Amino acid sequence: MRHYRRRFHPWEKRHFQHLLAESRTAPPRLVCRLGSHELWARGEGMYLIDAIPDDAPPLVREGIARRRIVDLEGACPCGASLVVEPGGNGVLHLSCTHESDCPAGNDILIPAYMNWQRR
């Protein structure tokens, strides 16, 4: 599960989903690299996503690569989709619940990332 938070009015959910869907009809284009992130444009949408560290082990690279696919395409190769849900107090939640064996899931990616960082 991965959560993003932003102040939103509940009625904006449909509008936001429409903008996301419309944005994804255009091909993704890399705008620039910003430290450990990359800024991508797709139609009217701008996406700030994690860059894949060159020196990361294969499992970490695969997990981050899958999360990039979710961010840009809205779904993971494991079958999980990005879900937009209005939370309380006008906060919009974007979440993606990966399969238990997916390297992009928190249960696999977080320990793999921590092991790599401890070296």
Q: Kindly tell me which of 68 and 98 has the beta carbon lying closer to Zn ion.
A: 98
- Long-range pairs of 78-84 with CB within 8 A, sequence gap ≥ 24: 78/102, 78/104, 78/105, 84/13, 84/16, 84/17, 84/20
Q: Kindly tell me which of 64 and 84 has the beta carbon lying closer to Zn ion.
A: 64
From CA 81, how far away is CA 104, in angstroms rounded? 12
Q: Report if residue 102 touches Zn ion, rule: CB under 5 A.
A: yes
Question: Residues 100, 105, 110, CA angle at the centre, nearest 5°?
Answer: 120
Count how many Cα atoms sit within 13 Å of the Cα of residue 25 in the half-sphere of its side chain: 6
- Least Å distance, CB 50 to Zn ion, is 14
Q: Report if residue 68 touches Zn ion, rule: CB under 5 A.
A: no
| Contact pattern from residue 77 through residue 96 relative to Zn ion, giving x for each residue in contact according to CB under 5 A and a dash for the rest | -x-x----------------
Q: Report if residue 64 touches Zn ion, rule: CB under 5 A.
A: no
| Residue ranges binding Zn ion (CB under 5 A) | 76, 78, 80, 98, 102, 104
